[in-house]
Structure 1
């Protein structure tokens, strides 16, 4: 199996505003702001993506980092994406609005490369996961699909199933919809537990050289 290099379990946040960033995220603030490279915040409309991104930017400034936020919009001056040499953290909100626009994708590709190569932070937000966005530039897609992710709730069962299946794909193995439903019906429904189970199932698929079947899951989950 081809396992994704450097993959980290995503963060799952059931976001409610208003909040104090430190109070809501606790030590996760330190974890997020210690990351370098690309961080993708995913959540449905009105889930709090913009509020979280702007709050992280303000917190970075409070900690002495130079931070800049850009709203992805076709009316935005793209030169702002090429003039970021001085910033430690750049946030681009609403990535989904500019996917498929070549000029934006080229600018974002160069921005992603620069922030990654110089060990800085690029935080993007999107209503959709990158697997469900229509990128023209395959190289940009490969950068963003491998980003560290933060998922914002609330999470219904359909979202849990989708995230579980996508997590397995990113880690290099397959969980079918039938298998995902079997898992969901037999575990706690919080996303941290689901992420832990996907990680455990991955280990067992390699150890047992097995696909994720219902008999396999019964053995792994001991049900």
Structure 2
């Protein structure tokens, strides 16, 4: 997953910006590492807790998982706050508690913005009263976001927290091969290892490279081999 931020609504209330969920961000397109099994189990029952909070480094799958949850839930709303800061928060959050599920991404960006923090605090209260489950994600734990509003910190601390551990090199290679298979590509273990050894270790960069190689393979009608990858990537 990339730090992909697209405003989205799955049959949701009208929002200031409607871009849509990314097609590939589904649970079927997410390689579930063993360490994530409890989180994915909870996501299969998204209404079991009123507030759940994911945190982890960029590129570890937070945005993908939130969007996948919205793909799987009719009437869900996904809001990537990083691209919505120009919108008045009181307008953006208006009546969202009537949705079947809310997923707020990039929570880091509102830290220190009093108007946003207060608007989120009130949204959490309204969502709880309306029994609308609220899922949120940030790069850091809630108690390390630098929030100014103590009541908001308390609300976040009262929810269920999930830490997404960083994928190691073997995980990243497995994810690369998994996503290649989902695209209908044959990416051998040795070729996948070659790509991972040359490209940035960030999963977002690996996925962008895979997309580039996919296009080149289709255009040139050649399988993904080390010589082709060297040619395309100029490695």
Residue aligning to 1:45: 58
Contact 1:98-1:105 at 8 Å conserved across structures:
yes
- CA drift of 1:22 comes to 8.6
Map 1:4-83 onto structure 2 (within 5 A).
20=28, 24=32, 27-31=41-45, 33-61=46-74, 66-73=75-82, 74-78=85-89, 79-83=91-95
Q: Is the 8 A contact 2:111 2:147 kept in 1?
A: yes
Matched residue, 2:147 = 135
Greater RCO (Cα-Cα under 8 Å, separation 6 or more): 1
Which of 115, 123, 132 matches 2:135?
123
Q: Which runs of 5+ in 2 are unaligned?
A: 1-24, 169-235
Q: Tell me, what secondary structure is at the counterpart of 2:93?
A: helix
How far is 1:126 from its partner?
A: 0.5
Root mean square deviation of aligned Cα? 2.4
Q: Does 1:99 align with 2:111?
A: yes
Per-residue displacement from partner, 1:105-128 (whole Å, max 9, x unpaired)?
A: 011001110111222111110000
After the TM superposition, list the runs of 4 or more consecutive aligned residues in structure 1 that deviate by more than 6 angstroms: none
Q: Could you state the TM-score of these two structures normalised by the residue count of structure 2?
A: 0.52
TM-score scaled to structure 1, two decimals? 0.55
SS in 2 for 1:44: coil
Larger radius of gyration: 2
Q: How far has the Cα of 1:155 moved from its partner?
A: 6.8
Residues matched between the structures, number:
135
CA deviations 1:75-125 (Å, max 9, x no partner) are 234212123142021111000111110110011001110111222111110
CA contact (8 A) 1:41 1:49 kept: yes
